[in-house]
Amino acid sequence: MNDEKLRAEALHNKVIPVHFDANFFFERAVQSLERNHYAKALKYFSKAVEYEPENPVNHCNMAGIMSEMGDYEGSNSVLVDIIKHIDPAMTECYFYMANNFANMENFEEAEKALVTYLEEDSEGQFLHEAEEMMELLMHELDRPAKLKRIKSRQGMIEHEQARALLEQGKFAQAVELLEEIVENYADFLAARNNLALAYYYVGLFGKAKETIHEVLEQDPGNLHGLCNLAIFYQHENDVSQLLPLLQLLTITVPFHQEHLFKLATTMGILGQHELAYQHFRRLLKDEELSDDPSVYHYTATAAFNCGRFIDAERYWRFASKLDPDSDVSRFYLSQLAQFREGTTEQPKINYHYHLPFEEQLKAWEHNGEGITDEVKHNPLVRSSFFWALRHGDHATKLQVIQSFAWIADEEVKRVLQAFLRDPKEDLQLKEAAVLVLEGLGIENPLMDSPEQEEIESETLVASELSNDLDQPSRTVVNKTLQMMDQSCDLDQQHDIQNLWTEFLHKSYPNTPELGHTEAWSAALEYWAIKMVGLPTTYQEVARRYGLSPSTVSRYARRMDSVCHMKDRNG
């Protein structure tokens, strides 16, 4: 008898107790959903509601499952309860109710719910779908809806323009427009969310975070705002604030494609790669996204980061087939192969569909052709540049500033001028920014800079090649100016000095030996003549300096590889 009692106690000690809470039943519900077991999923979501009755997410999930099962009346009862007793700000519930009424062919009630949604919802996340449903109801009821206003349409034209600027990577211009929209329409939350993103892309982290808090003050359940705030907390390494927010996002299962994509990328950025992987796999089941190579890349990235290397390879190969001209998938497949061979450690892969910033710079510098138009207008690439300019180390910032000379558009000018106004930035970097801006036609780039006099003094010293440069450096310019004395006016002398300074700055730390003064002077004169649009040849310049044309060509090509002179004169 004692033996039986001992065996029973031993068995009891081996049993792991199960902690029942909302999260436990939520996870079971998600697992059931993935297997299309809707009845079980509903049961588990109902239990989650019992444990957390004040959490509107669980109620909304339950309403969604009931609608999928055809219980439209039951779904609407839950949605009404959310609006009346849990979270009146969840105006999207009216849109869900309209769908349920339409499925019941109760078109009058569907119209009422839809009109309420359009008149009360400020964000407009289902605006396109609502407008399509309005057309259907107009056909069924044989009359236009009694709609007084569309709240989310206030400022919509300007907002669409701002979104287009964001998509083009013109973040500084987007900031200006979005700031104006937010000032005019204080409750336009979609515009505020995009303004926060624009701030983030140009590296204005403090303003981005402040703007997100403004969104969440008006709508505490705003998914875009919550995701962005979680990323900001991670950036600050604020674990105490991040953990509860992460727990909420972990149990959230969006039904809308845009929300699912936002949550998937957020989970990836937060290092929750397994959850990101599951969300991205759900996105790939959407017909609209099933042929999008970037989504396959995101899925592959999540798979790789959580150790699913076979799956990662498969998804990258899918992406490569869909986008054969892109180097992205090929690059990461090679990284995966090197890791498997043991030649490299497991690399850290981010969720952007472009090459890492360092790889882009290597490619452009190797090709010597500058940045292509396609890359110039890629918002992800541009955001990586702007972010690196704000948060990179000294060497990275210098590379970014020099690369901006290749992009050479209005956005670059705005960003560099803002960079000059930042009192925290290094003076040497500001000198490099001044050179780029002057090369882009900005006559007074130091206007309103807090250290204007100091930078002007430093830049003047650099441009005159005084104490900052050694004697061989000054000798090259002096030789060129001497040889061009009869044909070179003051402006051209200034341009020659700036060009030589730019070449030396950009060459650092691989500054060339300057012992062959005549060859460097000839190369400098060749490009100085080209800069003002006059014709010349290597032979003509070589004859004046007593050199061979091949020597002048070799040194001129070296300057071109650093300063991209052909692009300027092309």
CB 221 within 8 A of CB 90: yes
Helix axes 357-367, 379-391, angle to 10 degrees: 110
Q: What sign has the CA pseudo-torsion 124, 129, 132, 138?
A: negative
- Cα of 121 vs its chain's centroid, Å: 27
How is domain 22-151 classified at the architecture level of CATH?
Answer: Alpha Horseshoe (1.25)
Count of CB atoms within 10 A of residue 112's CB? 17
What is the 3-class SS of 382-415, one letter each residue? HHHHHHHHHHCCHHHHHHHHHHHHHHCCHHHHHH
Burial of 4 (C-beta count, 10 Å sphere; 0-12/13-18/19+): exposed
Q: What is the DSSP string of 520-553?
A: HHHHHHHHHHHHTT----HHHHHHHHT--HHHHH
Vertex 512 angle, CA 508 and 516, to 5°: 150
Instruction: Please return the burial class of 138, using the count of CB atoms within 10 Å of its CB with bins 0-12, 13-18 and 19+.
Output: middle
Per-residue pLDDT of the chain (570 residues; tens, 9 = 90+): 555 655 555 545 554 454 566 677 777 877 877 777 878 888 888 887 787 887 888 888 888 889 888 999 999 999 999 999 888 888 889 999 999 999 999 999 999 998 888 888 877 778 888 888 888 888 888 887 777 667 666 677 678 888 888 777 777 788 888 998 888 888 888 889 999 988 877 777 788 889 999 999 999 889 999 998 998 888 778 889 999 999 999 988 887 888 899 999 999 989 899 999 999 999 998 888 888 888 999 999 999 999 899 999 999 999 899 988 877 888 888 888 888 887 666 767 777 665 555 555 555 555 544 555 555 556 556 666 776 777 677 777 877 787 777 777 777 788 888 888 777 787 778 877 888 787 777 766 665 554 454 444 444 434 443 334 455 667 787 788 878 765 566 567 777 877 887 888 777 667 777 778 888 889 988 888 888 778 888 888 888 888 888 888 888 888 888 888 876 655
Q: Which residue has the tokens 């569907």?
A: 110
Token representation of residue 286:
């959407």
DSSP state of 17: P
Q: How are the residues of the chain apportioned to helix, strand and coil, as percentages rounded to the nearest 5?
A: 70, 0, 30
d(CA 315, CA 296): 5
3-state secondary structure of 439: helix
Q: CA 553 to CA 566: how far, in whole Å? A: 13
Rounded Cα distance between 552 and 463, Å, is 24
CB atoms within 10 A of CB 397: 21
Q: Tell me the C-alpha distance between 224 and 203, whole Å.
A: 19
SS3 for 366?
A: helix
**555/553 Cα distance (integer angstroms):** 6
How many C-beta atoms surround the C-beta of residue 423 within 10 A?
7
pTM of the model: 0.48
For position 497, what pLDDT does the model report?
Answer: 77
What whole-number distance in Å separates Cα of residue 168 and Cα of residue 378?
A: 6
What is the Rg, in whole angstroms, of the alpha carbon atoms belonging to the chain? 31
Q: Copy the structure tokens of residue 146.
A: 């009694």
Contact, 294 vs 353, CB < 8 A? yes
CATH for the 154-238 domain, from 1.25.40.10, 3.30.70.100, 1.10.540.10, 3.40.50.12160: 1.25.40.10
Distances in Å between the Cα of 64 and the Cα atoms of 42, 170, 174 are 9, 38, 36
CATH 1.10.8.10, applies to 471-569: no
Nearest to 181 by CA among 204, 199, 157, 197: 157
Q: Are 95 and 117 in contact (CB under 8 A)?
A: yes
DSSP notation for 270-333: TT-HHHHHHHHHHHHTSTTTTT-HHHHHHHHHHHHHTT-HHHHHHHHHHHHHH-TT-SHHHHHH
Identify the DSSP state of 18.
P
Q: Which distant-in-sequence residues (6+ apart) come within 8 Å of 193 by Cβ? A: 123, 212, 215, 222, 224, 225, 228
- Could you tell me the CA-to-CA distances from 424 to 208, 249, 391, 461 in Å, in that order? 19, 36, 12, 22
Report the alpha-carbon distance of residue 311 to residue 300 in Å, rounded.
7
* 8 A C-beta contact, residue 301 and residue 268: yes
